[in-house]
Amino acid sequence: MRIVVIGATGHIGGYLVPRLIQDGHDVVAITRGNSAPYREDPAWERVERVIADREAEDAVGIFGSRVAELEPDVVVDMICFTPESARQLADSLRGRARQLVHVGTIWTHGTLTEVPAPEDAVKQPWGEYGTQKEAIERLLLAESRRQDGLPVAIVHPGHISGPGWPIITPQGTTDLEVWRTLANGRELLLPGFGLETVHHVHADDVAQLIRLCLEQPDEANGEAFHAVSERALTLRGFAEEAARWFGAEARLRFVPFNEFSASLPEEHRDSAFQHVARSHAMSIEKGRRLLGYAPAYSSLAALAESVEWLRQAGRLGDGIPPVRFG
């Protein structure tokens, strides 16, 4: 197939695009600039690159038609953030493409009632990002279920992990000092009793689920799927396991959230609130049943690989021992 990937050089695209090339597809990568992919791979030499500023082109109503003019069989959209942008793309592709795979977020759920939450749980999104992504989901699923609509499958990743970038810590932040604190056996503050949750996923497992949607369109179209690991982690258990990677024992102190938040560097307080307040734990049963989704990485395995990359890249400073996992 001829597959256009919008936002191709990011975390997920670094795994997805080379795998699509290996699968024998013709891939067009749309990016805002000439940035290098997060992961180097010889397959990128066989990828057609197109430069486009989506935000600017959406503003004048030409981005969707630009994508359609590339004559894709399938479009994978990883950087759609407003319903208006989604509508423009769907209108341009309707009757011209076989499928659109939209990458959303588990934040479409907002606050959960029962866990692990399935895709069809009643959604209570809050915050601009989650609210906009939930509106996009409703729009695109309605589009896909119309008799003459564009076929759409939706993939909702959790906290994306893997080598190449900071990942969400046991405090719900990307603060690298958390890993140094755990490695050195220093005290780490956590909110409440440390039983709030985070649900990670390796970027390669998100790529796996997207490929399954491409390979099984009859099962995937008109549906949304969670792209997360097998199980979520409690903040407490996460911190304890992470300390063991370095041969240390976690020294944890549990405090009310306000005290916890005040202890954080100001630039990390909002991230902590956003993640801890949601405490997502999602089900992957639907993806497993309909598509055969089987994450290759547990949350801890994905995180251990990520932290070891940070250490080897010198992001954690001197004296931090190698991560020992499994």
Residues 151 and 240 in one domain: no
Residues 134 and 118 in one domain: yes
User: Which residue range(s) make up the domain with 236?
Assistant: 162-199+231-280+297-312
Residue 181: strand, helix, or coil: helix
pLDDT band at 36 (very low <50, low <70, confident <90, very high): confident
CB 67 within 8 A of CB 89: yes
Give the span between the Cα atoms of 161 and 306, in whole angstroms.
Answer: 6
> Which pLDDT score, from 0 to 100, does residue 44 have?
96
> Which pLDDT score, from 0 to 100, does residue 205 have?
98
Tokens of 248: 């240390």
**For range 68-93, the mean pLDDT:** 98
Is 326 within a domain? no
Report whether pLDDT(71) > 90: yes
Is 325 within a domain? no
> Which pLDDT score, from 0 to 100, does residue 220 have?
98
Other C-beta atoms within 10 Å of 112: how many?
Answer: 19
Give per-residue pLDDT as tens, 230-268: 999 999 999 999 999 999 999 999 999 999 999 999 999
Give per-residue pLDDT as tens, 10-34: 999 999 999 999 999 999 999 998 8
Residues 132 and 83 in one domain: yes
pLDDT band at 280 (very low <50, low <70, confident <90, very high): very high
> Which pLDDT score, from 0 to 100, does residue 191 have?
98
- Its sign, for the CA torsion 51, 57, 58, 63, is negative
Residues 98 and 172 in one domain: no
DSSP-assigned beta bridge partners for residue 197: 234
Preceding peptide of 191 cis, ω within 30°: no
Residues 125 and 98 in one domain: yes
Which DSSP symbol is given to 123? Answer: P
**For range 293-316, the mean pLDDT:** 98
Residues 168 and 211 in one domain: no
**For range 112-138, the mean pLDDT:** 97
Give the span between the Cα atoms of 167 and 189, in whole angstroms.
Answer: 18
Give per-residue pLDDT as tens, 164-201: 999 999 999 999 999 999 999 999 999 999 999 999 99
Number of domains making up the chain: 2
Residues 92 and 169 in one domain: no
Q: Which of 79, 312, 276 is nearest to 159 (CA)?
A: 276
The residue behind tokens 């990002």 is 129
Give the span between the Cα atoms of 276 and 242, in whole angstroms.
Answer: 18
CB 234 within 8 A of CB 299: no
Q: How far is CA 309 from CA 142, 166, 293, in A?
A: 41, 9, 26
CB 89 within 8 A of CB 76: no
Report whether pLDDT(299) > 90: yes
Give the span between the Cα atoms of 237 and 257, in whole angstroms.
Answer: 18
Preceding peptide of 322 cis, ω within 30°: no
The percentage of residues in the chain with a pLDDT greater than 90, rounded to a whole number, is 97
Residues 99 and 246 in one domain: no
Residues 252 and 147 in one domain: no
Residues 237 and 212 in one domain: no
* CB neighbour class for 113 (10 Å; exposed up to 12, middle 13-18, buried from 19): exposed
User: What's 153's domain CATH number?
Assistant: 3.40.50.720
User: What's 253's domain CATH number?
Assistant: 3.90.25
> Which pLDDT score, from 0 to 100, does residue 37 have?
87
Phi then psi for residue 217, to 5 deg, are -60, -35
CB 104 within 8 A of CB 131: no
Is 286 within a domain? no
DSSP-assigned beta bridge partners for residue 155: 103, 225
Report whether pLDDT(102) > 90: yes
Report whether pLDDT(35) > 90: no
Residues 133 and 190 in one domain: no
